[in-house]
Amino acid sequence: MNSMLSATNQNWKMNVFYISLGMGAFLMFGGRYFGDLFSIAHPAYINIAGVLIGLISFFVACVSIKCPDCKDKWFWRAVSKSKSGDWLFWLKSQISGPACKQGANNGT
Ligand SMILES: [Zn+2]
């Protein structure tokens, strides 16, 4: 039994999201360190860049991870509809599109 993400070949988008989010966090928390290391005058810009990368990767995931049939935005649905912190588990455990029940079964 495949998840809807792997059935619709969208797992790579989740991986891109993880990596870019990790890079953003890396810059966000390492800004001062890099500022000292490279004698950057305004290390706060590195922190801001990290925050921006995190926000952009989140936004891209929201608009790009969706149902190929009905265009239901799965990532956004998971983040906005899940009450507790289990949105990631919810997203990865769905086997068909929550809106139209398509996607995982017909392989489109
Ligand atoms: Zn759908």
Q: What are the pLDDT digits (tens) for 14-24? A: 999 999 999 99
| CB-based neighbours (< 5 A) of ligand 1, an ion | 67, 69-70, 72, 97, 99-100, 102
CA distance 54 to 33: 19
Q: Can you give the pLDDT at residue 41?
A: 82
CA distance 6 to 25: 26
Structure-token pair, residue 77: 């649905």
The answer to whether 3 touches 92, Cβ cutoff 8 Å, is yes
Report residues of the chain scoring pLDDT below 50. Answer: 106-108
Q: What are the pLDDT digits (tens) for 76-95? A: 999 998 777 889 999 999 99
CA 98 to ligand 1 center in whole angstroms: 7
Sign of CA dihedral 44, 50, 56, 58: negative
CA 76 to ligand 1 center in whole angstroms: 13
CA 79 to ligand 1 center in whole angstroms: 17
Structure-token pair, residue 16: 């891109």
CA distance 73 to 106: 18
What are the boundaries of each domain within the chain?
A: 4-93
